[in-house]
Amino acid sequence: MTTTTSPALSVPVPRRADRAVRPARTPRERPSLWGTLILLVGAAYCLFPVLWVVMASTKSASELFSTFTLAPSTHLPENVVDLSQYRGGIYWRWMANTALYAGIGGLASVVVSAMAGFGLAKFQFRGKKAVFNVILAGVLVPGVVLAIPQYLLLAQVGLTNTYWSVLLPSIISPYGIYLARIYAAASVPDDVLEAARTDGAREGRIFTSIAVPMMVPGLVTIFLFQFVAIWNNFMLPYIMLGDDRLFPITVGLSGLLNQGASQPAMYTSVITGALLSILPLAALFLTLQRFWQVDLAAGAVKA
């Protein structure tokens, strides 16, 4: 590692910005037009649907298909009211459900991953390699293939169509454990643990007051990963849930779109709902940007 800047601040600023003040600045340093242009085209491509949904959500149902697609209108407040009144405000219930699934599921996942990662990184025991390899293989299991047997098994204990049916399968994250193991190995020194044990500290206390604080930046990343994965998940809740009061936003909006096929007036609600559902996660991304530095190969998090 050659970076000398404070690691916590290294992210939003391009890391090598410090080079701009170096004397070895040659005339070749002029901005690259093509490179910058390609980046801007990429940004435009990625922002375009978002721009469209912002514009479309301001239109009334009749304007949606009649005015120019990127021309704004003035009906956003009505659309939000319409959406909020749809079936007694079920949209907001879907949002709350999503926050619950992603929030609680993500937190539980972090706790489980942190414990397992710490156990795998900081202890020598028989079977350690086997356990780790099994978990590593779990990373490669196509998660969605599990959804149907998970449904059948949960049906046998009567847990389908409950909050549990979406929460419980979301907690285990082999990739989270893999990351936590690497993070524990890198950030918790053995001699600190040894010293604490010599002082007679209990295991649980060593973990909560020594290991966890040292692992926090990595744990935040694991949380974000799992939070987004659960937030974005469609198939699991789609299979598990029948009662629309338990739906997360993805399943709810997909159902609304289906209704739009027969009653196009629903489309404005679908579009407004899509916009409102993007906002919280986008805000989360922008505020926690510095934790999104994921080196898959090293597994480490450079925060």
Partner 1 sequence: MTTLTATPTTAAAAARRARRRGRLAPWVYLAPALVLFTLFLALPIAYSVYLSFRTVKVSGLGLGAGARTEVWAGFDNYARALSDPDFLASVARVGLYGLVLVPTMLGLALLLALLLDARRTRAKGFSRVSIFLPYAVPAVIASLLWGFLYLPRVSPFFYVFDRLGWDAPELLSSQWVLFAIANIGLWGGVGFNMIVIYTALKAIPTELYEAARLDGCSEVAIAWRIKIPVVMPSLILTFLFSMIATLQVFAEPMTLRPLTNTISTTWSPLMKVYRDAFTRDDIYSAAATSVVIALATFVLSFGFLRLVQRRAFSQENA
Beta-bridged to residue 294, according to DSSP, are 301
Residue 295 makes CB contacts below 8 A (sequence gap 6+) with: 301, 302
State the binding string over 267-296 for partner 1 (x if CB under 8 A, else -).
x--xx--x--xx--xx-xxx--x--xxxxx
Binds partner 1 by CB under 8 A, chosen from 81, 96, 145, 216: 145
Q: Does residue 75 touch partner 1 according to CB under 8 A?
A: no
Q: Of 104 and 111, which has the nearer Cβ to partner 1?
A: 111
Residue 294's SS3 state is strand
**Hey, CA dihedral for 45, 49, 52, 54, is it positive or negative?**
negative
Interface of this chain with partner 1, residues 206 to 235, rule: CB under 8 A: 207, 228, 231-235
Q: Is there a contact between 91 and 84 (Cβ–Cβ < 8 Å)?
A: yes
**Residue closer to partner 1, measured from CB, 9 or 286:** 286
Give CA–CA dist 241/243, Å, rounded.
6
Q: Is residue 96 a contact residue for partner 1 (CB under 8 A)?
A: no
**How many amino acids of this chain bind partner 1 (CB under 8 A)?**
110
Out of 83, 90, 95, 135, which residue is the one contacting partner 1 (CB under 8 A)?
135
Stretch of 9-17, 72-80, 85-93, 212-220 lying at the interface with partner 1 (CB under 8 A): 9-17
The distance from CA 183 to its chain's CA centroid, rounded to whole angstroms, is 19
Q: In Å, how far are 33, 62, 214, 221 from 3, measured between CA atoms?
A: 28, 56, 20, 21
Among the listed ranges 79-87, 88-96, 167-175, 212-220, the one in contact with partner 1 (CB under 8 A) is 167-175
Binding to partner 1 in span 51-70, by CB under 8 A: 52-53, 56, 64-65, 68-70
Distance, CA of 303 to CA of 283 (rounded, Å): 19
Alpha helices by DSSP H, the chain: 33-56, 61-64, 76-85, 90-122, 128-140, 147-156, 163-171, 174-187, 190-198, 203-206, 212-232, 235-240, 249-260, 266-287
Question: By CB under 8 A, what part of segment 233-272 binds partner 1?
Answer: 233-235, 238-239, 249-251, 253-254, 257-258, 260-261, 267, 270-271
Report if residue 16 touches partner 1, rule: CB under 8 A. yes
**Residues 101-120, interacting with partner 1 (CB under 8 A):** 111-113, 115-116, 118-120
Q: Give me the least distance between CB of 74 and partner 1, in Å please.
A: 19
Q: Closer to partner 1 at the Cβ: 82 or 94? A: 94
The residue to which tokens 């849930």 are assigned? 241
Between 53 and 220, CB nearer to partner 1 = 53
